[in-house]
Amino acid sequence: MAGFRVDRSTRESRWFAGFLVLVFIALATLPYWGGPGDMRLVSEMAYYLALAQLWNLLAGYAGLVSVGQQAFVGLGAYALFYLTSQFGIHPLVAVALAAPITAAISLPMALAVFRLRGAYFAIGTWVFAETFALGVSLVTPLGAGSGMSLTPAIMTQIAPDRAGRELILYWLSLAIVALVCAIVYLLLRSRYGLALTAIRDSETASDSLGVDTFRTKLTIYVVTAACTGMVGAFIFLQKLRLSPEAGFSVNDWTVVVIFMVVIGGIGTLEGPIIGMLVYFGLREMLADYGTWYLILLGAVAVVIMLTAREGLWGLVARRFNLHLFSVRRHLTR
Amino acid sequence: MTDWLNILLQGALLGGLYALFAIGLSLSFGIMRLVNIAHGDFIVLSAYIALAFIQATGINALASLAIVVPLMFALGYALQRGLLNFTLSGGLLSPLLVTFGISVIIENVLLQIFGADIRRLHAGAIETDSVAFGGIAVGVYPLLVFAVAVIAIAGLQVLFYRTALGRAFRATSDDAGTAELLGIDNRHLYAMAMAIAMIFTALAGVLMAIRTTFDPAAGPIRLIFAFEAVIIGGLGSLWGMLIGGMVLGIAQAVGAALSPTWQILAGHIAFLIVLVIRPSGLFPHTRD
Amino acid sequence: MILLRTRGLRAFYGDFQALFDVDLDVEEGETVAVIGANGAGKTTLLRAIAGALACDAAMVEFDGRAIGGLRAHDVVHRGITMVPEGRKLFPSLTVEENLMLGAYCGRAGAWNLARVYALFPVLQELRSLPATSLSGGQQQMAAIGRALMSNPRLLLCDELSLGLAPVIIRDIYACLGAITAEGTTLVIVEQDINRALEASARFYCLQEGRVALTAACRGFDRAAITSAYFGV
């Protein structure tokens, strides 16, 4: 093997990394050059991208297709609301705490639901989400069926005035999506990433080579749950109001996210970005047509799964042999 | 005491309906390893098709089965042959995500056409008639639904174990490639399996709609009930679906005595208990 | 008359070419052997003929009509049935149900349940057992019986002797006579060269996807076969 080197990045990925930095700087300075609604929109795009990268990590890399991630969005949100209202914890700290709390709940849940396989696993995760939603609606300290609100007293801890709060929450959204993407990216570059790719390709073969598939999948599941919980806490920090239906909504936190990943390209890091942009584009275009955009989204997802399983990004990547995120290893002389 | 007996009985009879929910889901999984995420939405779709016919012709809800069942049979065949067959080679992701997409499409199309109003089908006096069994009033309608479920499962038992088609289904489920080498057309057989599953889905949809209200978003929870009944009863077991349905129904009836929220939650809890303690279900399938 | 003919048969597994311009003729009523080392393409050849592997229409002709590329179940209806490598009985079905399944295609002919039981009496005793609980030799008989139930004009036998004791193999090959007596044409794929050559009139030897040698079996020089087999 003399004369070979293992490279992590390619020329394209280095250019892309530079491009990303530029985009990030532009977005960070948006408050100073953008319009009033822009910050809200970019925030929303940011947290959806975070959710999409996380779902993609779970389904596209670990092969765990969950239609119950809304469970963690809701749990994280409820953790935030409960910690701030019952214990007076600073909301931003509570958002961070939502991660370990959600992780702790996701662990026993994973042990139960991992007994199911394939599509039945997917439905099982959904049942858990429904169970949490129903359970929460029965607990009075959590606001029962009508939910909870974030009081001004809580919110002023972030910043005394509204403009200041909007600024901080906006930058927090960028920070969160950057953090989540970084976590996903680093995981995939690590030995975990290699293990996941092996498991994705053949679980039996991986097992026989000593990859602990169960622990790897469990780790990914819990890490994803933690991050999803943190994102969920952030989402509802912005919305100020939380109810079981909103927190555990399968339409908002699972249907849309899945479509983003599928249309963009499942199993790639670039895919969710494309999918997120396509979703927001479609939503803008079809804003006047009510539920038609969901129907179109569904139809596009079906067509993509049947004709171009690797999504829009997969088509591009295959055509141009392009990989913008350097998660692979290349042999070069 | 009679109160609790009543609850048990109601729950057990409700289990018949849940068994009918479960059949469609279980058939397509058993024969083709395909879990139809849109299954609950097809149940609701059947109810809406019945609604449309009833509104147009004024026929009785039960009579509408004569139209809805053949229609859903044809739809199931076309759906499998024209669309879902192409997902079968795509590993886990493809059928799951395609049926997920179909689920979203159906829900939103129904919303567009029928609106979000809550609906119900009516079958006349049979809905409220009851017979007395030793001091307990048992609804005629729940008894009817339960009887339909029992007949359905008995019929499936005969189909699978005593007919050539049933043998073909079981063989294809074991090894589709070798079955094809013996003259069995997989594409047609899978389509037949889905068509037959849709018969029971249509039955379940209409029978459910007479008993409870429905709206375009009512599909997912039915998928969950079907799924819970299948898992509790045990994958691959025909009569297990009935038992699973009854366990679910009884759990829900017990929960309903507390509150409507507890009704569904109790069902989930029963499912979770079975999942944790006996994941292969109460009657896991052994090779007959 | 020539029942089966392949002309320039090419077959691929994805990008990998497994058969290169294979020409093969089988007369009606003949028994022809296809021999060769592992990976030579014997099973691939049978699968291409049986329709389990795609190929161009004109490459395979049966009874004068092009059948290449037809799906496997259609090929069965035309009159070709394969006894697959490794038996491949259906575990969920009993022995009898496996046999009955063979008749699913509905072709008329001499073979029915009673005649299969007459040929393989042991199957009748075991008929209610799950098919995969039988011994290797019994399973092979069941697999042959199952294929016979479809009343094929051409029976393709893939590695009948695989994993079986010599005594069992002998018994199975002894039954082939009863099958050919009905006028059924046989193509036998075998690694056991002696068995194959004893049972057949002619043979083809494949080597790396090509026909290396073809001749009548009787009196043919073994050394020539060995070199064709191993490609030396």
Asked if the C-beta of C73 comes within 8 angstroms of chain B's C-beta atoms, the answer is yes
Contacts of A296 in chain B (CB under 8 A): none
Higher pLDDT, B82 or B128: B82
C130 and chain B in contact, CB less than 8 A: yes
CATH of the domain at B219: 1.10.3470
Decide if A309 and B93 are in contact by the 8 Å CB cutoff: yes
Q: B1: pLDDT confidence band, cut at 50, 70 and 90?
A: low
Mean pLDDT, each 10-residue run in order, chain C (232 residues): 92 90 93 90 93 91 92 95 94 95 92 94 93 93 96 94 90 90 92 87 91 86 80 72
pLDDT at res. A332: 64
Give residue B108's domain range: 2-115+122-277
Three-state secondary structure call for residue C83: strand
**C-alpha pair distances (Å), A62 with each of A190, A287, A299:** 14, 35, 26
CB pairs under 8 A between A and B: 125
Q: Which residues of B touch C90 (CB under 8 A)?
A: 170-171, 174-175, 178-179
d(CA A300, CA C152): 46
Q: What is the pLDDT of residue C66?
A: 93
Indicate whether this model's pTM tops 0.80. yes
State yes or no: pLDDT of B78 exceeds 90: yes
In a domain, B225, yes or no: yes
User: What whole-number distance in Å separates Cα of residue C166 and Cα of residue C169?
Assistant: 5
Q: Report which DSSP code applies to B72.
A: H
Minimum CA–CA partner of B286 in chain C: C92
Q: Which residues of A fall within a CB distance of 8 Å from B109?
A: 295
Question: What phi, psi does B47 have (nearest 5°)?
Answer: -65, -40
Q: Mutate which of B178, B188, B288 to disrupt the C interface (most C C-beta within 10 Å)?
A: B178
Instruction: Find the largest Cα–Cα distance for chain A.
Output: 68
Residues of A in contact with B259 (CB under 8 A): 138
Across the interface, which of C84, C101, C150 has its CB nearest the CB of B168?
A: C101
What band does A38 get if pLDDT is binned at 50, 70 and 90?
Answer: confident
Q: What is the largest CA-CA distance in chain B?
A: 60
Rounded to an integer, what distance in angstroms lies between the CA atom of residue A95 and that of residue A230?
6
| Residue bearing the bigger pLDDT, B54 or A323 | B54
pLDDT at B279 (0 to 100):
82
Spans of all domains in chain C: 2-230
Query: In this structure, is residue B15 part of a structural domain?
Result: yes
Percent of chain B, pLDDT > 90? 76
> What crossing angle do the helices spanning A36-56 and A270-285 adopt, rounded to 10°?
140
| A284 CA: distance to closest CA in chain B (Å) | 18
Beta strands (DSSP E) in chain B are 130-133, 136-139
- A193-202, B182-191, B227-236: least confident range: A193-202
DSSP H or E segment with residue C206: strand C202-207
pLDDT of res. A7: 67
The answer as to whether B63 is a domain residue is yes
Place of tokens 């080392």: C37
Q: Which residues on chain B place their C-beta less than 8 Å from a C-beta of chain A?
A: 29, 33, 35, 37, 83, 86-87, 90, 92-98, 100-105, 108-109, 111-112, 220-221, 223-224, 227-228, 231, 259, 261-262, 264-265, 268-269, 271-272, 275-276, 279
Which residues contact residue C222 at a Cβ distance below 8 angstroms, ignoring those fewer than 6 apart?
A: none
| A interface residues, B as partner, C-beta within 8 Å | 59, 63, 65, 67, 112-113, 115-116, 118-120, 122-124, 126-128, 130-131, 134-135, 137-138, 145, 250, 255, 258-259, 262, 266, 290-292, 294-295, 297-299, 301-302, 305-306, 309
**Cα of B203 to nearest chain C Cα, Å:** 29
Strands laid side by side in the C65-66 sheet:
C16-27, C2-13, C60-62, C65-66
Percent with pLDDT over 70 in chain A: 94
Euclidean distance between CA atoms A186 and B163, whole angstroms: 56
The fraction of chain A above a pLDDT of 90, given in percent, is 48
How buried is B141 (Cβ within 10 angstroms: 0-12 exposed, 13-18 middle, 19+ buried)?
A: buried
Once rounded to an integer, what is the mean pLDDT over residues A288-299? 84
- Which amino acid belongs to residue C93? L
Contact B182 C50 (CB under 8 A): no
Q: How far is B276 from chain C (nearest CA, A)?
A: 28
B chain contacts of residue C81, beta-carbon cutoff 8 Å? 181-183
Query: Is B283 domain-assigned?
Result: no
In a mutagenesis test of the B interface, which of A58, A305, A309 is the best target, namely the one with the most B β-carbons within 10 Å?
A: A305
Q: Which of B241, B227, B238, B229 is nearest to B154 (CA)?
A: B238
Q: Return left, alpha or beta for C14; rule: phi > 0 is left, psi -120 to 50 is alpha, else beta.
A: left
How many domains, chain B?
A: 1
- Mean pLDDT value across chain A: 88
What pLDDT is stored for residue B265 in this prediction?
95
Domain C2-230 CATH superfamily: P-loop containing nucleotide triphosphate hydrolases (3.40.50.300)
| pLDDT in the model for residue A333 | 61
Residue A237 has pLDDT above 90, yes or no: yes
Residue B218, in any domain of the structure: yes
Q: Does the pLDDT at position A107 exceed 60? A: yes
C-beta atoms of C76 and B185 within 8 A: no
pLDDT score, position C23: 93
Q: C84-87, long-range: CB within 8 Å, 24+ apart, which pairs?
A: C84/B178, C84/B181, C84/C143, C84/C158, C85/C43, C85/C158, C85/C159, C85/C162, C85/C189, C86/C159, C86/C162, C87/C136, C87/C139, C87/C140, C87/C142, C87/C143
Q: Which helix (H) or strand (E) holds A271?
A: helix A270-285
Percent of chain C with pLDDT strictly greater than 90: 65
- pLDDT higher than 80, residue A46: yes
Beta bridge partners of A149: A241
> Is the Cβ pair B104, A116 closer than 8 Å?
no
Asked if residue A288 has pLDDT above 90, the reply is: no
Q: For A73-103, write each residue's pLDDT tens digit.
A: 999 999 999 999 999 999 999 999 999 999 9
Inspect the structure and tell me whether chains A and B have 3 or more CB pairs less than 8 Å apart: yes
Supply the pLDDT for residue B288: 30
Contact: B231, A290; criterion CB under 8 Å: no
Q: What's at A219, amino acid-wise? A: T
Dihedral sign for Cα atoms in the order B265, B266, B270, B271: negative
In whole angstroms, give the CA distance from residue C48 to residue C85.
14
Q: How distant, in Å, are the alpha carbons of A48, A110, A130, A221 from that of A106?
A: 21, 6, 14, 8
Task: Specify whether the CB–CB gap between B71 and B201 falls below 8 A.
Answer: no
Contact predicate A135/B267, CB 8 Å? no
On whether the CB atoms of residues A180 and A227 are closer than 8 A, the answer is yes
pLDDT at B62 over 60: yes
pLDDT tier for residue A8 given thresholds of 50, 70 and 90: low
What's the average model confidence in pLDDT over A295-302? 89
Q: What is the pLDDT of residue B287?
A: 34
Per-residue pLDDT, averaged over A276-300, amounts to 86
C147 interface with B at CB cutoff 8 Å: yes
Chain B residues whose CB is inside 8 A of the C142 CB are none
**A123 to B223: CB separation less than 8 angstroms, yes or no:** yes
Over residues A131-159, the pLDDT tens digits come to 999 999 999 888 888 899 988 888 888 88
Q: Which of B161, B158, B190, B185 is nearest to B173 (CA)?
A: B190
